[in-house]
């Protein structure tokens, strides 16, 4: 059964987003200050690592237990916040 043009465009868009996610993840991995992250308490370190791997600010922030502005500052110090 042939695909509709709408279905093809959707698949193309999803592939494009997946590629962007991969590129952003690689950028975060290259920029992260691993020594700084290693020095953090375990819960916060895990939150930063989750952000680096998945880019999910909401989930990583929740895991950190910090107010959002403080967590963003930790991400800045870790070298992975570009916002």
Label residue 69 by pLDDT band (50, 70, 90): very high
Q: What's the CA gap between 67 and 32, in Å, rounded?
A: 21
Tell me the per-residue pLDDT of 2-16, one tens digit each, with 9 for 90 and over: 556 777 788 899 999
Q: pLDDT averaged over the chain?
A: 91
**How do the domains of the chain map onto residue ranges?**
5-78
Q: How many CB atoms lie within 10 A of CB 71?
A: 22
Residue 71 predicted with pLDDT over 80: yes
**Burial call 22-58: b when 16+ CB within 10 Å, e when fewer:** eeeeeebeeebeeeebeebeeebbebbbbbbeebebe
């Amino acid at each position: 059964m042939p695909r509709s043009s709408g279905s093809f465009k959707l698949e193309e868009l999803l592939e494009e987003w997946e590629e962007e996610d991969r590129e952003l993840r690689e950028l975060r991995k290259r920029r992260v200050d691993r020594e700084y992250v290693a020095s953090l308490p375990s819960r916060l370190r895990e939150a930063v690592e989750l952000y680096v791997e998945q880019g999910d600010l909401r989930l990583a922030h929740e895991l950190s237990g910090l107010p959002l502005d403080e967590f963003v500052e930790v991400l800045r110090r870790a070298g992975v916040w570009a916002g």
